[in-house]
Structure 1
Amino acid sequence: MSSLLKPLEIKSLTLKNRLVMPPMATAKSEVNGRISRNILDYYNEKSMGGYISLIIIEHSFINQQGKASDHQLSIADDSTIEGLKSLAELIHKNGSKAVMQINHAGSAASTKITGEVVVGPSAIENLRKNDTIPHELTKKEIEGIINDFKKAAYRVKEAGFDGVEIHSAHGYLLNQFFSPLSNKRTDEYGGNVNNRIRIHLEVIKAVREVVGENFPVLLRLGASDYTEGGSTIEDSKIAAKEFEKAGVDILDISGGFCGYNVPGTSEQGYFSSLTEEIKKVVSMPVILTGGITEAKAAEKLLADGKADLIGVGRAIYKDSKWAERSIKELSI
């Protein structure tokens, strides 16, 4: 059997194949972050036929202070649950599973959008934004953010999704704590990698408390900043082991402050050197994304043991029939 067509079971989540649509911001929600007709139509089109086994819904803000952009989805209060239920039901009806990604933008936020003070682990401008010096979070404020992640995860489960993904990539708050480029703290949340992932472990614990043992928890990790003085694959291997121990079920690998791309390469699956290394130290499934546009390339990456699941983003974003064609091609 084709590697891409093999099913996979993780706790209560049964995936019919190894194809994942990773989270991609659409800016299609209502101004207040509520579900819109546009967003329902978009995910209906992408999930039609159930060819993609798992769809990870774009990042949703856990509180107003953590909102990254206009028309970003909200998971910030209980009034969002009803609309999100309709999204989960639609994707299930089409035959795919759905996980929701929850996020706080940290220093990547803007007062213009949130109406609130911009915060971060340290008073350092966001490397991808460079326009505001954030307020350095106090320990009490960190506790509040952890609690907001917890409440957001509860809402994800209440809305009927199949799992929740914690976002720690692409220069957002948890990634800012992980990266030595943005985390210059001298307390227990800064310094060595074990301190820099303390907030992650506290978020994972809080999320697990509220969703229970059998509800899948994913974490998207920006596994390398590809920048001198930034996070490295060695940091990520230490982090991955701790995340698995703390109760993460699937690790979704991407870039850190470098964003979605690896400088200087355009090969399909360009984060595969990271996933290959991480797979050496954990037994949980690992998702690989990064410029994968052909089913044969996805198949080879899986067959070579570079990952357990393949995320195809831009190809599916551009062409809603990509998954159908690819699955049928491999089924022949």
Structure 2
Amino acid sequence: MSPQNSVLFSPIGIGPLVLPGRLFKTATAETRGTLDGFATDAVVDFYVPIARGGTPLIITGNIYVCREGKSAPLQLGADHDDKIPALARVVDAVHAQGAKFFAQLNHCGRQVVPRFAQSPVAYSASDVKDLLTGTKPQALTVEEIQRLVGQFADAAERCRRAGFDGVQLHSANGYLLSQFLTPYTNRRSDEYGGSMENRTRFIRQIIQAIRSRLGPDFPVIVKMNGSDWLPLRDGLHTGELVEAATLLQREGIDAVEISVGHYESGFPMVCGTFDQCLRNMLKGSMSYLPPLRRTLLQVFRPLVTLASNLLWKGRQGYNLDYTPQFKKQLAIPVICVGGFRTREAMEAAISQGKCDAVSAGRAFIADPYIYRHLRDNQPGPRCVDCNACVGHLGAQPAECYHPTVKAEKDAMLAREATV
């Protein structure tokens, strides 16, 4: 099928933006900032090839809105005006290649190893310990929640001043906004807990604050789960998350991107194989765990690897299990992330009405030009779902760490540089 006849390369609107295609770069932590959250040349180097490859929309890795919401040492921040010039350099470089660029705004909440993130304390909706990290957060007060609403709006304004075309609020994968949605992590009895109306209040207030500050024409999209994937715990299922998305749509969001799971879920959000992933985690972010947890992970790593390989085998479009329910209820675009690698799988997902667009992370890390390659039916490096890159996130730069695929990628980029 030629690009002219392919739904994957047909236009789609997100708010006032009209994008020329429907494959986007999803957020992946770059781990390329400075220790105090400033963007660097290495961030530019990461995004420019993806933009040069024709990608219609790129979403940054999670950017913290306040120092207490930082999840890793080399994460980007939008917590002060002094971050704006460095972010603007990245935006200008991406725009020069013709791509649109959204900033993903986030607060990690309880999903943090405080020693790794150099943070004295963690915060959440309630003081429910994270079973993976052992982190026991402090429950946010109403006053602190209201301050965070302002900090999200401040960060969004800074991102617009830096030139970003829109923002994405990260309410998936068990981070703070997701923690407020989920009954397992939100056991409050005030206006931010209990009913779905109450549990969405925090993110709805953030959307309202951004809209009040930046107007109706600045795109605001939300990343959220299609399932919390929390067996034996009070996690959200698809119907409940669709209800939450409907409430957010009423506040004027422009699209949703559907993911899955919390940190406690294991690896449903990055299906594939996990031997190198877990090895890299134990040398990186997980080396900062409390001694007992670190030792248990080291001892049981082979068993955890085996179980993970069985439970979360790689397959394309694994979040298509959830997106059709969102499509039926929402009038805004539904974007599906989750293991997409081939043009055929992407086209099928959209043409069958399961989603309006697809996004990918690891596929772009393996092949920054994947959009162009799929559009023009050209070969390129292909992610093999080894998840070595996932294991390094937060500790080493976002990059392909599979030797064969990385060699292919480097050769491709070298050829491109001579053209």
**TM-score for the superposition, normalised by structure 2:** 0.76
Of 15, 20, 43, the match for 1:16:
20
- The aligned residue for residue 127 of structure 2 is 123
SS in 2 for 1:280: helix
- Structure 1 residue 227 displacement after superposition: 2.1
Distance 1:266 1:283 in 2: 30
Of 196, 202, 205, the match for 2:205:
202
- The aligned residue for residue 34 of structure 2 is 30
More helix by share: 2
- The aligned residue for residue 48 of structure 2 is 44
- The aligned residue for residue 224 of structure 1 is 227
- Structure 1 residue 265 displacement after superposition: 5.2
**Preserved CA contact (<8 Å) 1:126 1:171:** no
- The aligned residue for residue 353 of structure 2 is 305
**Preserved CA contact (<8 Å) 1:221 1:256:** no
AA partner of residue 5 (structure 1): F
**Preserved CA contact (<8 Å) 1:272 1:288:** yes
Distance 2:60 2:82 in 1: 18
- The aligned residue for residue 138 of structure 2 is 135
Distance 1:187 1:256 in 2: 26
- The aligned residue for residue 281 of structure 2 is none
Distance 2:64 2:187 in 1: 25
**Preserved CA contact (<8 Å) 1:61 1:67:** yes
Deviations 1:226-279 (A, max 9, x none): 223211111111111111100100101111313624754533111112111111
Question: Which stretch of structure 1 is more off in the superposition, 256-265 or 223-232?
Answer: 256-265
AA partner of residue 374 (structure 2): S
Equivalences for residues 137-176 of structure 1 within 5 A: 137-176=140-179
Deviations 1:70-115 (A, max 9, x none): 1001111111111111111111111111000000011113432243
Distance 2:122 2:13 in 1: 40
Larger Rg: 2
**Preserved CA contact (<8 Å) 2:173 2:228:** no
Of 337, 346, 349, the match for 1:289:
337
Does residue 260 of the first structure (1) align with residue 263 of the second (2)? no
SS in 1 for 2:27: coil
**Preserved CA contact (<8 Å) 1:4 1:19:** yes
AA partner of residue 293 (structure 1): R
Distance 1:264 1:16 in 2: 33
Deviations 1:145-167 (A, max 9, x none): 11100100101111111111001
- The aligned residue for residue 246 of structure 2 is 241
Where do 5+ consecutive residues of structure 2 fail to align?
272-310, 379-419
Q: How many residues align?
A: 328
AA partner of residue 155 (structure 2): A
Distance 1:261 1:91 in 2: 26
SS in 1 for 2:376: helix
Aligned-residue identity in percent: 32
Of 322, 325, 328, the match for 1:274:
322
Distance 1:39 1:114 in 2: 21
**Preserved CA contact (<8 Å) 1:251 1:286:** yes
**Preserved CA contact (<8 Å) 1:25 1:58:** yes
**Preserved CA contact (<8 Å) 2:230 2:261:** no
Of 244, 251, 255, the match for 2:256:
251
- The aligned residue for residue 63 of structure 2 is 60
Distance 2:139 2:345 in 1: 43
**Preserved CA contact (<8 Å) 1:168 1:222:** yes
**Preserved CA contact (<8 Å) 1:65 1:109:** no
Deviations 1:46-88 (A, max 9, x none): 2114x21100011100000000101001111111111111111
Distance 2:215 2:228 in 1: 33
Distance 1:35 1:312 in 2: 22
Distance 1:224 1:246 in 2: 22
Distance 1:165 1:63 in 2: 16
Distance 1:204 1:324 in 2: 34
Distance 1:114 1:223 in 2: 31
Poorly superposed stretches of 4+, deviation over 3 Å: 261-266
Distance 2:185 2:324 in 1: 26
SS in 1 for 2:329: coil
**Preserved CA contact (<8 Å) 2:73 2:118:** no
